[in-house]
Structure 1
């Protein structure tokens, strides 16, 4: 227990310094881009003096270090700036969009793990059959090579257009109203026992979550399989077999629990890539999340919004990494002594 608490505290201590470094990188990189975020605010009839007045009012005429310190002071008080295109606070926009992204990413993660476990066991046991193992290698290579947005397009065409089985836009149908207050519509419908709304929200989430999970699953499968191979010759596995346990019981009751640390580690390190894939997937499925909002911000050259959303994405990923580290210590006794 002490090791778990110590790991959690150490990761929390390092979190602000990591966020500070990330904010510097994001701020500087965006300021060095050749695009001008003020272009959409300046009317065609504006004079050079008008342009300079707007630039001065927004602080874009000051040195980058001064701009950053001004922004950082406001950010520490929860103010990430003002969206140029949407005329609203970036913090509130991000807060409103965050639940949709959290729900999509976590659902995709759970779905990926649920698919990966039986596939990893099949992949592990297929070592004795070279043809099956080779076929699975080709299948997983193919799945990993297809980006999430292509999976999304394929799923929309197959299940939304050709067969018309599942909805392809929004988080729930227009006949429903999310009861709140969390913004996580599955949880909100569940808490309020709105079963038709819950079923409808789940049907809307199937395709976008599957698009993300299909690209993430092969990586998890291969990590679990590698961990299974590593613990397969451990003394506890040999003891279980000597007691007459079936191979399936040995794998599911003894090998898989010991493969958990490797799985948790890869989920923590790769979750950022899964989160990044939500950008185009949310846009394709018209989900009102951070990814869709980021696409709009980039289209509109909305620098404050792009900057604020990038910081939120980074913070979300870091929090998941901290939780993964703590979970790794919980499931891996060796990590508690390191």
Structure 2
């Protein structure tokens, strides 16, 4: 098993290196070809053309694009992604500060999505070829047609305005100071024993995570339902029935495990869309994550920051792919026996 997992990780790493290089090159070239001047915000209104040229030379933007990319690549290999034009801080430091919030939001959103979709997929399968199947399909289709940003607005309207039971802005309450140990608020507050502050962080996280979950869960429900329908026709199900096992036990102990394989693969592929949805969700809820930082970078034409965030998103997606492949290998008995 260890050899199988090692092989999967090595293969993915071999693919990841050229993928990162190609993506970095594409993003770098596209950003440099845009008709914007990223240095305009760094110059005072009274700046002359000579001042602009001097600053451009200082930032290395007077060189040809291939040379600029090679310089950026060399710095990136040494752990430096340059300085943000707007924030006047290292890009790495800004991303390290914002990334934990986005990961926390996406992970909690995924957990909530699984809490909704696993029972939902089982119920959809139980209703298969029954009178209520059409109603269940209609509900799932309706949920799937609502994007995460619209869910955000609806949740704010219902639970923040009409029935204000949970906060809908920021990451924690104003009275809470994050310890800053790992950057993950839920972990840091729990480790330091600040349970009231931990509940505050959880309440602030709930609505944005639920908005992501509600947009992600319907797709998981559909895939899980299809997997259960396919599993119902497998020979082992008939054998289990002949042995006198109840339908409930067959479903939860045997069929669900096999139906989980394509579902896990789909979750891994679609998890990137969860991060993409987090961009707008963070804006709406004022959540200080990587998506919010990306919006500020785009508004300010902050090329180094945009480049760094694009790179970290690619790294996250490649890491998720590795995790999904490993989980698939662990759950698939055919691969475990290789």
| TM-score, scaled to structure 1 | 0.96
| Corresponding residue number in structure 2 for 1:232 | 232
Number of equivalences:
337
CA distance in 1, matches of 2:189, 2:43: 44
CA distance in 2, matches of 1:313, 1:30: 16
> What SS does the corresponding residue of 1:284 show, helix, strand or coil?
helix
- Structure 1 segment 111-260 matched on structure 2, within 5 A: 111-130=112-131, 132-260=132-260
| Corresponding residue number in structure 2 for 1:66 | 67
| Corresponding residue number in structure 2 for 1:28 | 29
| Corresponding residue number in structure 1 for 2:289 | 289
CA distance in 1, matches of 2:193, 2:46: 56
- Structure 1 segment 59-98 matched on structure 2, within 5 A: 59-98=60-99
User: Root-mean-square deviation (CA), in Å?
Assistant: 1.5
CA distance in 2, matches of 1:44, 1:190: 48
Give the superposition deviation at 1:337: 7.1
CA distance in 1, matches of 2:146, 2:33: 32
**Range 166-175 or range 103-112, more displaced:** 166-175
* Aligned residues of 1:98 and 1:290 also touching (Cα < 8 A): yes
**Range 252-261 or range 233-242, more displaced:** 233-242
| TM-score, scaled to structure 2 | 0.96
* Aligned residues of 1:4 and 1:336 also touching (Cα < 8 A): no
> What SS does the corresponding residue of 2:80 show, helix, strand or coil?
coil
> What SS does the corresponding residue of 2:256 show, helix, strand or coil?
helix
CA distance in 1, matches of 2:226, 2:70: 47
Give the superposition deviation at 1:336: 5.1
Give the superposition deviation at 1:119: 0.4
| Corresponding residue number in structure 1 for 2:306 | 306
> What SS does the corresponding residue of 1:155 show, helix, strand or coil?
helix
| Corresponding residue number in structure 2 for 1:333 | 333
CA distance in 1, matches of 2:260, 2:112: 16
Give the superposition deviation at 1:16: 1.7
CA distance in 1, matches of 2:51, 2:176: 47
Alpha-carbon deviations, 1:195-242, whole Å to 9, x = none?
212211111111000010111101111111111111111122112222
Alpha-carbon deviations, 1:62-118, whole Å to 9, x = none?
111111000000011111111111010000000010110010000101111111011
* Aligned residues of 1:169 and 1:204 also touching (Cα < 8 A): yes
CA distance in 1, matches of 2:86, 2:295: 13
CA distance in 1, matches of 2:45, 2:182: 43
CA distance in 1, matches of 2:14, 2:135: 46
Q: State whether structure 2 residue 279 is matched by structure 1 residue 279.
A: yes
> What SS does the corresponding residue of 1:128 show, helix, strand or coil?
coil
Give the superposition deviation at 1:44: 2.2
Q: Which runs of 5+ in 2 are unaligned?
A: none
> What SS does the corresponding residue of 1:61 show, helix, strand or coil?
coil
CA distance in 2, matches of 1:144, 1:83: 38
CA distance in 1, matches of 2:256, 2:180: 38
CA distance in 1, matches of 2:139, 2:54: 59
| Corresponding residue number in structure 1 for 2:9 | 8
CA distance in 1, matches of 2:18, 2:80: 19
> What SS does the corresponding residue of 2:211 show, helix, strand or coil?
helix
CA distance in 1, matches of 2:262, 2:194: 38
* Aligned residues of 1:3 and 1:337 also touching (Cα < 8 A): no
Q: Which runs of 5+ in 1 are unaligned?
A: none
